[in-house]
Amino acid sequence: MKNHPQGRESGANHSDETKPRAARRAFVLGSLGGLGAGALALSPLQRAMAAGADLSGITLTIGSTSKVGLHRELVASGEDRGAPYQIKWADFDSTLVLLEALRSGRVDIAQGGETGVLFALGNGSRISVLAAWQETRSGGSAILVRKDSPVRTVADLRNRKIALPFYSKQHYQLARALEQAGIPFDRNNVLSLNTTDGLSALVNRQVDAFVVWDPNTAIAQTQYDARILVPLKNVIEVPGLVYAPTSALDDPLRRLALEDATRRIIRAKHRVLQDPARWASDIAELSHIPLAAAQLQVSRTYARYEPAGSPQNIESWQKEIAYFYQTGQIRQQYQIADHIAPGFGAIVADENARLGKQA
């Protein structure tokens, strides 16, 4: 089922946003400074609320590029409830479309693969990285072929047609897989197709391979007898991202909401993964996909969030940036560390520590 973009409603009434930004910043920071030392045990959001900060006029639109992304995780875990701000959802078929919405102000926070964001930053977009996420199992990123395909190795894909949602995480993974097999990334053979059209092209023998992620991979396997040629995590694995438009962090109240949303995202992931059977059932119900596909995805997926600014994460992203710059696919070389949002690393570490104590 194809997801259609649902951005923030036009004409929404955000009364708090009519205040001058500088005045709002002074109010929040000044009020926090007046609290006693005992308030330091509270979270930043709790302290801000105690000081009189009002987030009721803030709406965060949360973007997802997967049928089982942030939207479903937050709903299934209950973390979509009880926020002191409004939450809206924006579901997309690919990172490219999501990033267009984010740049135009229709998405406030999103989570997904890193490649599209790295491309956008390399072409001048103002995006800040809030957190990283790592898949610790095999995951569902894969090159798929038909069950009866003669293709048995990546080398067999030479001069064959491959469907790929461009600028997804799998774009980089496929490029490196082809490179390792001595095959150039040729846009005459690698076709830019979304997940729905890519699967259709594979099933109808219009392409020889389809590169995609779960639950699309699991659906293709369980419903259309697709075969995994190679799990792309075996080729290369780079951390994914939680990210937001940099402009959103300039607003002190919206930043507080983003900090709280980041914590909710971390808790949601942790909670749904604690009960795999329940999570598979929730995926099937919320995303309208077969239970068998949901169960297959859950069996090979276990991701965790971590601070974005760790040396390992920076190194992985920097290598990917260098690859696309050297191959002429992004305009400029840049330092990803310059785009890590200050303060969010501590938030991620703190929330992980809290969850660790609950385990």
* Contacts of 60 by beta carbon, 8 Å cutoff, 6+ apart: 85, 86, 87, 88, 108, 109, 254, 257, 258, 261
Q: What would the pLDDT profile of 274-304 be if each residue is shown by its tens digit?
A: 999 999 999 999 999 999 999 999 999 999 9
Q: Are 243 and 109 in contact (CB under 8 A)?
A: yes
DSSP 8-state symbol, 114? S
Q: What would the pLDDT profile of 297-306 be if each residue is shown by its tens digit?
A: 999 999 999 9
Class of residue 337 by CB neighbours under 10 A (exposed 0-12, middle 13-18, buried 19+) = middle
Q: With 70 as the cut, is the pLDDT of residue 38 above it? A: no
Q: Which spans in the chain are helix H?
A: 21-33, 44-50, 70-77, 95-103, 115-122, 169-180, 195-203, 216-224, 246-249, 252-273, 276-287, 291-299, 311-326, 344-358
Q: What angle do CA 327, 328, 330 make, to 5 degrees?
A: 115
Instruction: Output the pTM of the full model.
Output: 0.85
For the chain, list the domains and their CATH numbers: 15-136+239-358 (3.40.190.10), 142-234 (3.40.190.10)
Distance CA 222, CA 303 (A): 22
Q: With 80 as the cut, is the pLDDT of residue 49 above it? A: no
Q: What would the pLDDT profile of 176-234 be if each residue is shown by its tens digit?
A: 999 999 999 999 999 999 999 999 999 999 999 999 999 999 999 999 999 999 999 99
Q: Are 234 and 191 in contact (CB under 8 A)?
A: no
Residue 342 CB neighbours (<10 A): 9
Residue 293 has which token pair?
């596909």
Nearest one of 333, 325, 327 to 184, comparing CA atoms: 327
Give me the pLDDT at residue 27, please: 37
Q: With 90 as the cut, is the pLDDT of residue 36 above it? A: no
| Neighbouring-strand partners of residue 111 | 242
